[in-house]
Amino acid sequence: MSSAEAAGRVAELQRAGKTIVFTNGCFDILHVGHVRYLSRARAMGDWLVAGVNTDQSVRALKGPERPVNSENDRAEVLAALECVDCVVLFAQDTPVELIEQIRPDIDVKGGDYKIDDMPEARVMAALGGRVEIIPFAATDSERFSTTETINRYKNR
């Protein structure tokens, strides 16, 4: 969906008493860590919006060799997951503008984030929402990292 379409749908669902969960990422090479994370995020509410970095913003964040998969392919794969209700592309380095437009109830991040370091935490507080951190298991951050997966492949 476009951000405007998603914002409209979110507003409808919230009027009906539904809880909207938002998360975001590059989701370049979808792996089991992503699927587990997205499933846990979806379990926190009634509708999950996944913000996906555009190709340009992935290059800015991860370097010129990324993304491996195009923004449209990444969005389509995420949209096919049962736990993801809506996918929205965004071009900024952070999802702040998208969160301001969509106005979710909960913003979910992975265990490598700290709420105090997240610019979107202030926005969520201003909107009356909250941020939830899903902790990783001790080995998840390395085992399920897209960057580590790519590095293991290159080193074969």
pLDDT digits (tens, 9 = 90+) for 87-132: 999 999 899 999 999 999 999 998 777 888 889 999 999 999 999 9
Q: Looking at the predicted structure, is the pLDDT value of residue 23 above 90?
A: yes
pTM of the shown model: 0.89
Mean pLDDT of the chain: 90
CATH code at position 127: 3.40.50.620
Q: Most confidently modeled of 11-25, 105-119, 142-156?
A: 11-25
> In this structure, are residues 32 and 72 in contact, taking their beta carbons and an 8 Å threshold?
no
- Expressed as residue numbers, the domain containing 85 is 3-154
The domain tally of the chain equals 1
| Helix, strand, coil percent values for the chain (each to nearest 5) | 45, 20, 35
Residue with the bigger pLDDT between 146 and 87: it is 87
